[in-house]
Every structure is written in C-alpha cells, then in structure tokens.
Amino acid sequence: MKRAFSICGAVSPSRCASRAARVGVLLVVSLVAGGAGDQPTFGRTTPIPVPRGHAVRTAVLADVDGDGRDDVVVSTRRVGKRGDSRFLRVHLRRADDVPFVAEPDATWEVDEAVTAWTVGDVDPAPGAEIVLFTANSVFAWRPRAPEGQGFVRLLDASFLFQFADPKEAFAFEPAVRDVDGDGLDDLVLPEPEGYRIAIQRRGPGGSRFDAPSVLHVPEDQSDGDEGEASGSRKMRARAARKQLRVALSIGGDDAEATGDLLAVTERIPAPQLVDFDGDGRLDVLAQTSHQLHVWRQQPDRTFGTAPDASYDLPVVADRKRRFDVSYTALTADIDGDHRADCVLLAGDKNSDDVRTQVLLYTQAGRPGAAPLFGEKGLPTQLVVIAGFAGTPRLIDVDGDGRPDLTAGSMRLDALDAVAAAAKGTIDAEMYVYLNTGAAFSRTPALTFPVSLKADGLRKARDVLVARFIGDVTGDGIREILLRDEPTRLRLHMVRRTKDGLTVVPQPLFETFVTPDARIVVREHAKSPPEVLILEDTLVRHVRWP
Amino acid sequence: MLSIGTLLIAQFGGARGYAAQDDDGPPPAHAQRKLARVESLVTTFPIAAHRILDVDGDGRDDLLAIGRAGEVRVWHWDQATGRAGAEPSGVLVLPEPDRSVLAIADLLGTGGRPQLCVVSRRGLEAYPVGTDGAFARAPVLVSKEVSLSLRVGEPTFANVLRDVNGDGRPDLILPRGETCELWLATAPAVAGAPPAMHRVGAFKVDVQRDHAVEAGALSDVLESSFRIPPLSFRDVNGDGRKDLVVEDGKIRAFHLARPDGTIAPEPDVRKDLSEFQDTTPAAEVRLGRTLAGGDDQRFDSTDLDGDGIPDYVISHRRKVWVFRGSSAGPQFTEAWQVLRVADDVSAMLVARLDGDPKPDLLLLRAQVPTVTTLLRGLVASWDVEIASVGYENVTSAGDAKGPFATAPKWKGDLALRLPAILGILKDPEALVKRFETLEKKLKRGFVWGDFDGDGRADAAVATQAERHLDVWFGVERGGAAAVADDADIGSVFFGTETTWDIERVLQWLGDYADRRFAKVTGSRDPSLRAALRPAAEAELQDAGVLSDGAGKAAAIVVAYTDEAGQGVFDVWR
C-alpha cells in the first residue's frame, strides 16, 4: 500500500479529492483481486488465447454487439499442410470481472479475396458489423445474423489494397467514419486515383451506400530527375514512405527479360477528414508533393470529383523531403476557430546541427485569397526542436479541450554515441508543447527523458516507445504509456505542476511483454483508454477501471 | 489540313532536329555523316507503353503506342518518303485499360501478322490486324476461362505469352496472386478457330508484396505494391525441352516436359530443403557480432560437369551437399559429394572464381555487428566482416568423386565498411543519388542495327545522364555479354583489397559497367552523337531501332514522355 500512497501523494492537493479516492480505491481493488504482489497493478489484464496452431496477426477493440462496451476482434493465421488460413474471432465483452473468455462468440475463416477489415455499424441490426474489403467490393459480416444471411454487399469499389495476403487480413480502421455527422458510420475508401466516399442512408429496407462521391486526386508535378514521376506506377526507386529500394541489375543484355512477370505499385495520399472552412461539416484534405487539396462537403453530404481548392505547400514534400526522417504534416484546429490548421515538422537543412523546425500555419493567421499558407508560405509560429524529431501527434494532453503537440526527439553527437554504446541504450526525449489558444507554448511544458534499450530492438515489431494515452486517473490529464525496453510496458501518470506538466516516476501499471509483442491503444471520449497486447499466441486486454 | 499531330510536331520543333557534333560532345569520327532528327511524333493521349514491331506485315517496323486510357494506335512509315504520317492508324480503345495485360504474339496461329493479345477480366482476347494496318476494334475471344483478376493500373505489357513447350504455339502464364497458372495452347479442333487453352495447374511463386496503411497524418501515403515473378523454365534433364522449376519457400519442385509437349501438374521431383540439416552446433562468432543470413539452407544450381544438365549444391551450416543431375532429371538421394567446411555458411555461390569456364564453389561467412555494437556506428563507420573460401571445380568427365576439390584453393577476408548512420540520416539523398547514378550506368542498353548499310553491326545508346544519342559503327554485337558476370568475383573476395567502403564498391560496379560498355564500343568515341531533349522538357524512356525490312536499320526512335504524360517519339536518321 505504500506505493499507492506515494502515487496519490504525487498528485496536486488542490485537484486531488475525487481523483485520489478513485486511484486509491482502484489500487486496493487491484491488489486484492490478485495483482502481482508488490508490483504496481493498477490495471486489469485479461488474457485471450488463440487456439493451438493459430498466430495472432492483429486485433481491434470496438463495440460489436451494441451494448456500449468495446469487444475484441482478433485476426489470426493458421498454418496448415495445405497452406495458410486466416480467421476473424469475435470476443464479446462480459459484464463480470473477467470481461473476455478464450472461446470466441463468433468465428469466420476469412475468404481468400478479403484483403482488409474493420468494425463499423453499417447495418440496421443491433450493434456493429465486421466490414470486409476485397479488391472490388465492400461487404459486411453480421456475426449474429441467421445462417445464410451473414454477409451483405455494401458497395463496389476499386480498393487500393487489392492484393490479399494469405498470412493476414489487416485491420484498416480509417475506412469507416461518420463523415456527415448523422451518427451513422460511412465509408471512406482509398482507390488508385482518389477516394470513394459512401454516405450511409438508413431506411426501412436497411442501409444503403449508393451514389458515392468519387474524389479524384490531381496528379502532381513531377519531381523531375530527382525522383519518380507522380502517377508512375512502376518504380525502381521509391521514396514515398521514407523508404528506398534501389535495384541494381548486373547481367547480360537480356537482364530485363528475367525480371518480374508483373510489378504494380499504387499509392495515394492518406485522406484527412477535418472541417476546413468552419461550416461544421467534415471536409477532405489530401497532400501531394507540391499541393494541399481540399474537397468541401456540400450541404447535401456530397463531394465534388475535383478539389474545391488547391494550395501550394510552403515546404515541398518532394522525394528529398520525404527522406527527411523528421518530416511530418498534421492537420487539426489549433486556434479554436473551427477551421483546420496545419503543423509541419521538417529537418532544418540550413543548420549545421541536427534540428527540426515545427511550423504552425493557422487559417486565422493567414486570411485572404491564400488561406492557411498565405501568399509567401510564412508560418504563424516557428518552434525549433534540437535533434531528429519524430512521432508527432496533436492531442489534448492537459484536458483543456485544445490539441497540444507531442513529439519525440533524439539528439546524438559523438559523445552521445560513445555513451550509448557503453550503456547499450539510446537517449531520447518526449516533449509536450501546450496549446495556448492561438499557437503552441514556446518551450515544452513537459520534457520527459526516455532511455531506449538497444538490445532486443531488432526483434521488436512495434514502434510504440512512448505515447500519451487517455486519462486513467481522472484528473483530466493524459498518462504516458512507455515501452523503452522491448519486454516492459508501463503506464505513468502525468500531473500538472506550477511550471507545466511532469511524469510521476513510479508507474501506475507495469507488465512483461514478449519482445515481439505489438501494442494497440483504444481511446474513449468519456472513459479511460484500453490497451491490447498482441503476442504470438495470446491477446492480452488491459483496462484501467 | 493541319492536323493535331502536325501542330504537336511543330510545337516540339518538328524536323528541325539536333544536328550531330553538338557543343557538348567530342567530334565524331565519321565527320561526313550526321544524325538528324527527321520527325517527331506525339500521341494525343497520356501514354502507357509503346513497342516497335512490324504490325501490318509489310516487313517494315511500325510504332505501336498504347494510351493509359486504352487507346491503341500505330504509326506506319511510308517507304517512298521515309516518313510516318502525322495521324496514326487505329480506332481501338481497350475496354478495361486498368486491368489489361498485353502481349504481342501469333496466338491465333495465322502464321502471319501477330495479334495484340489482352488478358483481362473479359478473358484472353486477340486483336488481329485490320485493313488499315492497325489492330482491329473487334477481338477474337480465345478463352473466357482465362481471366485476370488483378488491377494493373494501365495497359501493361508482360511476358505472359511464350512458347514454353517448344510446339510453336504461345502458351499462357497467368499471374493469379500467390500462384501463376500455366495454360498450354493446343491446336484447335476446327481449322481457323482459336487455339484451345488447357490449364496445366497453378504453381506457387515467391510474390513480394507491401502495403502502407498508416493514415493519421497529412503526409502519410497509402501504398499497395506487389511483384510477381515469372514461372521458371529450364531444361533440367538435357532433352532439349524446357521443364518447369518451382520454388516455393524451401520446396523445390521439377515438372518435366513430356515429348508430346505436356507438363505434368504434379512434380516429377520434389525436395524440401529443410531436410538437409547439419547437426553440428552453429559456430561461434566474434564477440559483438552475429551471423548474417540466419540458419537457413542455401541452394544453387548450375552445370558443374559440362554435360549440359544442371547439378545442385545445397548447404546448411558447415556441410555442403552436391547432387548430380542426369538425363533422368534432378535427384537428391545420392550425393555426388559432401563437403565439410570449417565455418558456418551464410551465403553460397556457384560461380567462376578463376580463368577456366567451370563454375567453382564460393562459401561466405558474413558477420554483422549486434545492435549494441552498432550504436557506435551512429557516428563512426562500421564493418560487415566477410570470410570467404573458394573450392575449385576439378571435375572431369565421369568423375565420381565430386566436382570440387576437397580443400579450399582460395581463402580471403574482407570488410565491407559502411558509413556512419547519422551521416546517412542527415543527408540520405547524397547516398541515394550515387546509387542512382550507378544504376543509370548499369542500365545503358544498346540497340543494334546496321545503320550505315555496310552489313556490319552498329550500336546506339541513349544515355540518361548525359542526354546524348551515341552511335558506334562496326561493333562486336554481344560483346557486352562476353564480359562474364562472375569473372571478377574471385578478385573481389580473394584479391589484395581487404577493405571495401562504399566508394570502392561503387567504383568497382562502375568499372564493371564501363568494361561491358567498352567491350562493345572498343573504347572509341562515338561515330555520331546528337543531343537529346533536355530533362526539363521530356522524360527519356528508351531508344529503339526501326528496321526497313531489308536488314537495314531505317531509323532510331527515341521515346519520351512529356509533362502531360503524352508519348513523344523522335525519329533519328
């Protein structure tokens, strides 16, 4: 219990009352319920094993049965003598202390044509459905439907991910979204030339997704000799995802003849659904190498084929920039005017030291004919982060309702590298720049050192090192989930101080994970977040009551 | 009448041409001759592919241009004027352009003009040549059973129609995802009908796929890619017929071609490489190092004894098995030779290591730094250590002892020195550009023809980097191939240089490319040189030769795409 008091004691007294009671009670409950002795066991973990011969590929937390609580859908792979099989296993949440049991409530051997899936309420039946994507169609699997009525065709589309992987049907959650704000899930499908947005219309006969809007992303100007031409589908050198493959062919004159029978690459910018113009409707933004394109949602819930507006990017996202490990562009309403703003992170090419520029562009800061970026592309705010910055996110850390900027940074000079080699760790820092209403704080409100253990990094499949997840303690401030060692997952409380924010050193929760485990975080608007730990033969569900 | 084509020609300068002897080139040896751009043809649509071939069967080559939206057009050259008309022939528009895989073959067995063959969801169709000398609008449906379910984005040529069983009819290799289906064409039951397509089976191929699904940032890119290798055909029993060789993970399967041209769906020989296990424990590696390449079996196949039949070499850890192929096909039951080596094998290559033509055995043991050790490599260069041993091929006809000497003839140690990781992260573009420059050098491909009519082979190259069209008269065709790809491998692993940094690797590869090039050109300056369009104006695709049908190269066609994606073809004489 000493540990419990130390956690409570770390909380600001002025904000402690109900929160302290909640944390204290939860700790007691947790320890009585069979926690690991003296270890902090704030969270509750429920194992969901998969059958022998199956391997966990991915999992999603979503409310499938419509009871208001998230269930777990697990995608597995089974290796058999006749090849691989893929399965989706639905585990509904129980109301008791053990929310999930090993036996699934529904199982389906995934058809070989299915490339991806997610969960969405796309049918009038109670609860949600499993939405299945094939190269040409979207289907819904209704796990509780009577025999023979389990599958419903929703839409024809040219889904970007056409090639099914026999080892895995991957989860693609961005494809389901309430686009028109009517409370029903709609479909946002990436296609080779753009996006297909189908609004759900629910009537007595069921749900319909007819007359979708087809958005066409304009081809950008070529990167010229420095990169591949936009629109080219077959490339030998690719830089779009900070990844490069250079194929050098050495051989006779017929070397090409011995190459691939067929090679296809299709790519499209990830669409962002935000309210660009402040009219209360979600619009679609997409960034190509040189431009930001905007499709405005019309009052009749449709979108045009061509963008309604296109703006030249202030930092061209050409191949050279995409090699920049710090380069990221994010969009959200930063200044509270209900219009989307833009945050760019880019390495400072003019500096001898490694450093990253954070450029904030707000629509309020650049009114007129060229909103957001202005005529000259000058930012509303410039913040400099030393080192290579990465994994930026725009999330409300301090609970004031405004998105703050979080980012990690790694600074390495010769001395750092020698020290790193001696210790076997790489030192990095996590920063939180609080939203001040019109911009971000000039200096970070929180600087949190993270020491990454190098040994075992090679086996780690997950990139999660440190991430702010939803409020667990009830103080309105997000906590930080940390995996600085491949086999340790910890949750630390973040609390407010008079100077900003601080991370309580003693973890609220800690557990061992296998080195190759992957972490899935599910955020909730009004309740604490939940986490799935995906290991080879087991999914572990972690919740903080 | 001034046509759109004429306007476009005018826009690009038409027949103005770039004369030879531009300022940026050396003076050509054949000063009395000049290359002149006599014509520029521009498609009125974004282009997907082009081919130079005799479409209309008059013996002279034509230019086939395929648009991204499925347009199929043909330019013919007038024998009298030597020019193509501004307007191409043809009205065909492929109905499913983003799902069409194309091939040119005489699928209908007419013995004459080949057809434009298309595999799509509609089936396998052949578009014969119409009276206008272009491909007709109406196809002949060869098989509805054969359909392509993949989206390829735009009409795409692929080597899907080839005669695999030597009966003179093009057979079909159909990509199906994880497998390729083999369909053999047989004579039609009724004369004049399309051939009958018989499905042999679906055979696993090692498909590479990748997808990027992160979508949370404006800068994220969703991407889906796949690469499907072709089925592999080679004669594994010396009967002159190509057999089907399937690689499925660690499985090797051999389907022998029968005298009647059929290929059995079930393999005649099948071997799981994981059965080859060296039970000795893995060897120790130096502290701070780990063995590259894991603990897998290695497999290579080539003719070791000169009988024209491939033999097989398999290694695992410190053991190497050699199996002799025969007229009965591959066999993996009776080892021809078993070698025990001192170190674990992390890579294996059967290649020429000395001057004689017989392939030798090269075994490599690569040790890479552990992650912890690699941290030092953040700011300093770091080494991959490669120990190599070479076993000489000493086989002679009927040799029963095995092809390789029992003791290594060559031993070497080298370090591949890689630059500091932080240095790469600061400016990855610099390193990438150097590899791309090398790639362009390696890709310099010759086009061949008798340009001056002297009966000897001439060669031309359109160089990407320098934007030149160079022509050499009187060259040794096939000279590049004479630079054996593996001839220098021995000097790399067993030479005097023991440290190879990126500079040296790039230099070596660049020298290799230059040697291949020089083997053809004799290190001479080009006989003719002309400047190509600047990169800012159009992107260079390739060069091809137009044949006049009498054995003489009538012209060189240099293909580009312009900013609008249209095809631009400059004709040089």
Whether the Cβ atoms of residue A35 and residue A42 lie closer than 8 Å to each other: no
* B228 closest CB neighbour out of A260, A327, A457: A260
SS3 for A127-164, per residue? CCEEEEEECCEEEEECCCCCCCCCEEEEEECCCCCCCC
Contact call for B209 and A165, based on CB within 8 A: yes
* A270 closest CB neighbour out of B222, B378, B435: B222
Contact call for A421 and B372, based on CB within 8 A: yes
B566, two tokens: 């249209």
Query: How close, in Å, is residue B177 to chain A by CA atoms?
Result: 7
Lowest-confidence pick of A501-515, B224-238, B369-383, B500-514: B369-383
pLDDT at position A374 over 60: yes
Q: In 3-state terms, what secondary structure has residue B307?
A: coil
Query: How close, in Å, is residue A244 to chain B by CA atoms?
Result: 8
Contact call for B216 and A270, based on CB within 8 A: yes
User: In this complex, is the C-beta atom of A151 within 8 Å of any C-beta atom belonging to chain B?
Assistant: no
Would you state the pLDDT for residue B27?
Answer: 46
Lowest-confidence pick of A260-264, A455-459, B57-61, B505-509: A455-459
Query: Higher model confidence: residue B198 or residue A460?
Result: B198
Query: How close, in Å, is residue A418 to chain B by CA atoms?
Result: 6
pLDDT at position B122 over 90: yes
Contact call for B425 and A325, based on CB within 8 A: yes
pLDDT at position B439 over 90: no
Residues of B in contact with A287 (CB under 8 A): 218-219
pLDDT at position A116 over 80: yes
Which residue of A222, A236, A254, A262 is the best one to mutate when testing the B interface, meaning the one whose CB has the most B CBs within 10 A? Answer: A262
Would you state the pLDDT for residue A288?
Answer: 94
Cβ contacts of B279 within 8 Å, gap of 6 or more: none
The band of A419, judged by pLDDT with boundaries at 50, 70 and 90, is confident
* B173 closest CB neighbour out of A253, A261, A388: A261
Contact call for B227 and A262, based on CB within 8 A: yes
Residues of A in contact with B225 (CB under 8 A): 263-266
- Number of A/B CB contacts below 8 angstroms equals 211
Contact call for A163 and B177, based on CB within 8 A: yes
Q: In 3-state terms, what secondary structure has residue B185?
A: strand
pLDDT at position B479 over 70: no
Residues B298-322, mean pLDDT to the nearest whole number: 93
The band of A135, judged by pLDDT with boundaries at 50, 70 and 90, is very high
* A320 closest CB neighbour out of B158, B225, B429: B429
Would you state the pLDDT for residue B286?
Answer: 60
Which chain A residues in 396-425 lie under 8 Å from chain B, judged by CB atoms? 412-414, 417-418, 420-421, 424
CA angle B422, B425, B427 (to 5 degrees): 115
Residue A218 DSSP symbol: P
Would you state the pLDDT for residue A236?
Answer: 29
Residue A31 DSSP symbol: H
Among residues of chain B, what percentage have pLDDT more than 90? 50
- Most confident listed range (A294-308, A375-389, A486-500): A294-308
What torsion do the CA atoms of A51, A53, A58, A64 make, to the nearest 10 degrees?
-30
Among residues of chain A, what percentage have pLDDT more than 70? 83
Residue of A nearest to B464 (CA): A225
Q: How does pLDDT run across A225-243, given as a tens digit for each residue?
A: 443 333 333 322 333 444 5
* A272 closest CB neighbour out of B218, B370, B426: B218
- Most confident listed range (A403-407, B176-180, B480-484): A403-407
* A267 closest CB neighbour out of B149, B222, B446: B222
Would you state the pLDDT for residue B293?
Answer: 62
Query: How close, in Å, is residue A89 to chain B by CA atoms?
Result: 22
* Rounded Cα gap, residues B78 and A477, in angstroms: 79
Contact call for B422 and A354, based on CB within 8 A: yes
pLDDT at position B422 over 90: no
Q: How many C-beta atoms lie closer than 10 Å to residue A537's C-beta?
A: 14
pLDDT at position B532 over 50: yes
User: In this complex, is the C-beta atom of A290 within 8 Å of any C-beta atom belonging to chain B?
Assistant: no
pLDDT at position B9 over 70: no
Q: How many C-beta atoms lie closer than 10 Å to residue A96's C-beta?
A: 7
Residue B237 DSSP symbol: S
User: In this complex, is the C-beta atom of A310 within 8 Å of any C-beta atom belonging to chain B?
Assistant: no
Query: How close, in Å, is residue A527 to chain B by CA atoms?
Result: 22
Query: Higher model confidence: residue A18 or residue A515?
Result: A515
pLDDT at position B25 over 50: no
Query: How close, in Å, is residue A480 to chain B by CA atoms?
Result: 19
Would you state the pLDDT for residue B298?
Answer: 92
Contact call for A285 and B218, based on CB within 8 A: yes
The residue among B98, B94, B95 whose CA lies nearest residue B73 is B94
* B480 closest CB neighbour out of A135, A253, A266: A253
Would you state the pLDDT for residue B4?
Answer: 32
Would you state the pLDDT for residue A429?
Answer: 92
Write down the mean pLDDT value for chain B: 85
Residues of A in contact with B372 (CB under 8 A): 421, 424, 454-455
User: In this complex, is the C-beta atom of A81 within 8 Å of any C-beta atom belonging to chain B?
Assistant: no
The residue among B337, B185, B207, B352 whose CA lies nearest residue B261 is B185
Would you state the pLDDT for residue A225?
Answer: 40
Question: Strand B101-105 and strand B115-120: pairing?
Answer: antiparallel
Query: How close, in Å, is residue B438 to chain A by CA atoms?
Result: 8
* A330 closest CB neighbour out of B217, B426, B536: B217
* Rounded Cα gap, residues B65 and B569, in angstroms: 10
Query: How close, in Å, is residue B189 to chain A by CA atoms?
Result: 31
Query: Higher model confidence: residue A444 or residue A460?
Result: A444
Residue of B nearest to A387 (CA): B426
Residues of A in contact with B376 (CB under 8 A): 417-418, 421
Query: How close, in Å, is residue A171 to chain B by CA atoms?
Result: 9
Q: Which helix (H) or strand (E) holds B223?
A: strand B221-228
Match 């059973």 to its residue by tokens. Answer: B145
Query: Higher model confidence: residue B29 or residue B325?
Result: B325
Residues A178-193, mean pLDDT to the nearest whole number: 97
Query: How close, in Å, is residue B190 to chain A by CA atoms?
Result: 32
Contact call for A158 and B480, based on CB within 8 A: no
Contact call for B218 and A163, based on CB within 8 A: no
Per DSSP, helices labelled H in B315-468 are 371-374, 421-426, 428-442
The residue among B476, B510, B526 whose CA lies nearest residue B33 is B526
Query: How close, in Å, is residue B384 to chain A by CA atoms?
Result: 17
Would you state the pLDDT for residue B523?
Answer: 86
Query: Higher model confidence: residue B386 or residue B428?
Result: B386
Write down the mean pLDDT value for chain A: 84
Contact call for A417 and B375, based on CB within 8 A: yes
Residues B309-325, mean pLDDT to the nearest whole number: 94
Which residue of A261, A324, A458 is the best one to mutate when testing the B interface, meaning the one whose CB has the most B CBs within 10 A? Answer: A261
Would you state the pLDDT for residue A459?
Answer: 53
Nearest 5°: phi and psi at B482? -70, -20
Contact call for B426 and A270, based on CB within 8 A: no
Residues B448-476, mean pLDDT to the nearest whole number: 86
User: In this complex, is the C-beta atom of A253 within 8 Å of any C-beta atom belonging to chain B?
Assistant: yes
* Rounded Cα gap, residues B40 and B20, in angstroms: 17
Query: How close, in Å, is residue B159 to chain A by CA atoms?
Result: 6
ipTM: 0.89
* B209 closest CB neighbour out of A163, A251, A286: A163
Contact call for B535 and A224, based on CB within 8 A: yes
- Buried b / exposed e across B512-533, counting CB within 10 Å, b at 16+? bbeebbebbbeeeebbbbbbbb
Contact call for B150 and A190, based on CB within 8 A: no
The band of A146, judged by pLDDT with boundaries at 50, 70 and 90, is confident
Would you state the pLDDT for residue A244?
Answer: 52
Which residue of A172, A260, A310, A343 is the best one to mutate when testing the B interface, meaning the one whose CB has the most B CBs within 10 A? Answer: A260
Residues A376-383, mean pLDDT to the nearest whole number: 93
Residues of B in contact with A272 (CB under 8 A): 217-218
